[in-house]
Structure 1
Amino acid sequence: MGKTAAILLARLIFAGVFAMAAGFKFAGMGNTAGYIAAAGFPLPLLLAWLAAIFEVGLVLAFLSGAFFSEAALLAGAYVIFLAFAFHGPGHWQGNQAEFGFFVDHFTFLAGLLFAAVHGPGGVLAAKLGVLWRGRASAI
């Protein structure tokens, strides 16, 4: 019972983090686009919308357990991309807190990799996915 509760709580935390990120983007799409443009990316408004939609997809996968391992791996790649693009070494000189933000992304990656390997658990988890098909581990 404790493992099941921990897995469900972890899924809720993953979903909550990405839901908040998507919510902030939807609430201030122009601000998000400005932040993306400031990092030097082209088509910032399009990228902001794509990021928000992607994050909503991650939320759905973490809550439902469908394509859970795939979503966790994609989220991990996304989180590391964000670390380097927005908090990487070029940002540390002007603000040492950026180094902390950068490192935090790697701890999040560790949790996502662990989740990807072990799956969504056996409770409240759709049995859809390409990776680890038919395997809903309880860790």
Structure 2
Amino acid sequence: MRKEWAGYAPVVLRVMLAIGFLYHGLPKFGGAGHQQFQGNLQAMGFPAPALLSWVGAVVEVGGALALLAGAFTTIASLLLLLEMLVAIIKVHGPNGFSFMHITGMTPQGPQFGMPGYEVNLLYMAMLLALALGGAGKWSVDERRASRLGQPLTM
């Protein structure tokens, strides 16, 4: 790949991550989705589930929007990475690696349980790449860095 195109690779990561986090984060902002998320946190033994349900929603949606804009990419990536780590430890880890956790078979087909941590690891790898390498082209961070004359990466 040519070096002049390398700055566009992070754009693909930013867009795909933003889609994923918005898809899972937006329902946590209100109604039944928020109540279910808060109930799940309480059932898993998290302290202050009412507060953490809002923190989780804000991190996911705010982080997704920041990634989409390429603004504060390192901070957003690290916050989302931390959330993925918590999800692995508290939710997906016990289910094994595979995102398809088949718990049994019936005449109608396979029965699925909670997914494993495979997708979380993929998200974490993409987030780490952005945290270390920066937002790339078409980003607020790039524009700000060009004005300051220095990159905004770790």
Shift of the 120–39 alpha-carbon distance from structure 1 to 2, 3 Å rule, reads: same
Query: Is the Cα–Cα contact under 8 Å of residues 69 and 116 in structure 1 kept in the other structure?
Result: yes
Question: Percent of counterpart pairs with the same letter?
Answer: 29
In the alignment, the residues of structure 2 paired with residue 37 and residue 46 of structure 1 have an alpha-carbon distance, to the nearest angstrom, of 11
Shift of the 125–49 alpha-carbon distance from structure 1 to 2, 3 Å rule, reads: same
User: Where do 5+ consecutive residues of structure 1 fail to align?
Assistant: none
Query: Is the Cα–Cα contact under 8 Å of residues 59 and 80 in structure 2 kept in the other structure?
Result: no
Number of aligned positions between the proteins: 130
In terms of fraction of residues, the more strand-rich structure is 2
The DSSP-based 3-state class of the residue aligned with 2:140 is coil
Shift of the 63–81 alpha-carbon distance from structure 1 to 2, 3 Å rule, reads: same
Higher Cα Rg: structure 1 or 2?
Answer: 2
Shift of the 136–123 alpha-carbon distance from structure 1 to 2, 3 Å rule, reads: farther
Residues 71-127 of structure 1 show CA distances to partners (whole Å, capped at 9, x for unaligned) of 1122112111111111223x56xxx82685223212221111111111001323335
Q: 1:109 aligns with which of 121, 124, 147?
A: 124
In the alignment, the residues of structure 2 paired with residue 99 and residue 113 of structure 1 have an alpha-carbon distance, to the nearest angstrom, of 25
Q: Following superposition of structure 1 onto structure 2, how do residues 14-93 of structure 1 map, counting pairs within 5 Å?
A: 14-27=17-30, 28-89=33-94, 91=95
Match of 2:14 in 1: 11
Query: Is the Cα–Cα contact under 8 Å of residues 10 and 134 in structure 2 kept in the other structure?
Result: no
User: Where do 5+ consecutive residues of structure 2 fail to align?
Assistant: 102-112
Shift of the 122–134 alpha-carbon distance from structure 1 to 2, 3 Å rule, reads: farther
Q: CA RMSD in A?
A: 2.7
